[in-house]
């Protein structure tokens, strides 16, 4: 069954007596090539466990099931669970869980299903909650090999931006701590039903197997980035010094000087490496 076919989507939903739920960010793919491309590119090892967030009626799920050893799909909308039972009936390597990805115990779920496999995440994310989901995955403590997600085009630009560019933001700097980000391809708004207002893009994050930096105080590193971008037009010193207790102007000037930066620099010019070095100097 082509689960990206518009008439199939409509009839499957009509049969189940359900309609698209805006509050769950339901924009389903209608162009078969897209889930094929995403599934082709989301993991390197066919023997992987893939965690999918938001299977919808299962168009990406079936492509994942064809390529990888095991798929666990987490769907919040209980109205879609019986639908998925039918659309994915022929794939015995898929488990669908009715849960909110923001509440599910990811570490426990991976322990239950991974059986020594490498684990990747793949999703056409609901746009209302993209960044919280990404942060939850990254902070879960699970050693994902990669996270491949479709997000709004402008969010994709932010996630993959270079330090100093206008798209660079707090999420970009934090992401750099966990892994390297690649923008894979753009997807036009016309590839979904209902059609969103903006285009989308797929990004892949390859997680570092071990942390790239040895941070003396991870909370300080995060607070520095948060404060720097809350007032990104201010100099780093002015944006940060009143916000984090114990981090005085004098300490910041001396740390920036030791790193070879002008004391008038703005936080948006610092890379993840720079924030890590600065946080370590300030933690001393």
Please tell me whether residue 59 binds ligand SAM under the rule CB under 6 A.
yes
Interacting positions 73-102 with ligand SAM (CB under 6 A): 74-77, 100-102
Please tell me whether residue 161 binds ligand SAM under the rule CB under 6 A.
no
Cα 163 to Cα 173: distance, rounded to the nearest angstrom: 8
Size of the site for ligand SAM (CB under 6 A): 22
Please tell me whether residue 25 binds ligand SAM under the rule CB under 6 A.
yes
Q: Of 43, 50, 55, 256, which one interacts with ligand SAM (CB under 6 A)?
A: 55
Please tell me whether residue 51 binds ligand SAM under the rule CB under 6 A.
no
Q: Of 12, 42, 43, 54, which one interacts with ligand SAM (CB under 6 A)?
A: 54
Cα 281 to Cα 220: distance, rounded to the nearest angstrom: 11
Please tell me whether residue 62 binds ligand SAM under the rule CB under 6 A.
no
What are the phi and psi torsion angles at 94 (to 5°)? -115, 135
Task: Supply the minimum distance, in Å, between the C-beta of residue 66 and ligand SAM.
Answer: 15
Please tell me whether residue 109 binds ligand SAM under the rule CB under 6 A.
no
Half-sphere exposure of 222 (CA within 13 A, CB side): 7
Please tell me whether residue 42 binds ligand SAM under the rule CB under 6 A.
no
Q: Which residue is nearest to ligand SAM (CB)?
A: 54
Cα 54 to Cα 193: distance, rounded to the nearest angstrom: 15
Please, what is the Cα angle at 272 between 266 and 273, to 5 degrees? Answer: 105
Please tell me whether residue 65 binds ligand SAM under the rule CB under 6 A.
no
Pairing between strand 179-187 and 192-193?
unpaired
Element (H, E) at 110: helix 106-114
Task: Supply the minimum distance, in Å, between the C-beta of residue 30 and ligand SAM.
Answer: 8
Q: Which stretch binds ligand SAM (CB under 6 A): 26-34, 202-210, 221-229, 254-262?
A: 26-34
Task: Supply the minimum distance, in Å, between the C-beta of residue 26 and ligand SAM.
Answer: 5
Task: Supply the minimum distance, in Å, between the C-beta of residue 167 and ligand SAM.
Answer: 22
Cα 84 to Cα 12: distance, rounded to the nearest angstrom: 10
Please tell me whether residue 126 binds ligand SAM under the rule CB under 6 A.
yes
Q: Which stretch binds ligand SAM (CB under 6 A): 69-77, 205-213, 224-232, 249-257?
A: 69-77
Core vs surface per residue 79-116: b (16+ CB within 10 A) or e: ebeebbeebbeeeeebebbeeebeebebeebbeebbee
Core vs surface per residue 212-222: b (16+ CB within 10 A) or e: ebebeeeebbb
Please tell me whether residue 267 binds ligand SAM under the rule CB under 6 A.
no
Cα 79 to Cα 217: distance, rounded to the nearest angstrom: 44
Q: Of 29 and 252, which has the nearer Cβ to ligand SAM? A: 29
Number of residues assigned to the chain: 284
Binding site for ligand SAM (CB under 6 A): 24-29, 53-56, 59-60, 74-77, 100-102, 124, 126, 129
């Amino acid at each position: 069954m082509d689960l990206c076919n518009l008439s199939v989507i409509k009839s499957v939903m009509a049969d189940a007596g359900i309609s698209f739920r805006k509050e769950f960010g339901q924009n389903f793919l209608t162009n078969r090539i897209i889930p094929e491309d995403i599934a082709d590119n989301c993991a390197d090892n066919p023997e992987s466990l893939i965690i999918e967030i938001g299977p919808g009626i299962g168009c990406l799920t079936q492509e994942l099931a064809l390529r990888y050893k095991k798929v666990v799909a987490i769907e919040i909308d209980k109205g879609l669970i019986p639908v998925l039972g039918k659309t994915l009936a022929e794939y015995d390597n898929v488990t669908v869980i009715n849960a909110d990805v923001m509440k599910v115990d990811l570490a426990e779920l991976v322990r239950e299903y991974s059986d020594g496999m490498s684990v990747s995440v793949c999703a056409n994310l609901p746009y209302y909650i993209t960044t919280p989901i990404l942060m939850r995955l990254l902070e879960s403590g699970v050693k994902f090999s990669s996270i491949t997600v479709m997000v709004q085009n402008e969010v994709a630009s932010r996630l993959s931006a270079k330090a100093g560019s206008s798209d660079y933001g707090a999420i970009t700097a934090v992401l750099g701590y966990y892994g390297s980000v690649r923008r894979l391809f753009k997807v036009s708004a016309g590839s979904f039903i209902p059609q969103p207002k903006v285009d989308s893009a797929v990004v892949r994050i390859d997680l570092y197997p071990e942390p790239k930096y040895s941070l003396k105080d991870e909370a300080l590193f995060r607070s520095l980035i948060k404060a720097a971008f809350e007032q990104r037009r201010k100099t780093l010193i002015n944006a940060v010094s009143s916000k984090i207790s114990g981090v005085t102007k004098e300490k910041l000037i001396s740390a920036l000087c030791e790193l070879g930066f002008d004391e008038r620099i703005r936080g948006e010019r610092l890379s993840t490496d720079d924030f890590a070095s600065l946080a370590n100097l300030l933690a001393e």
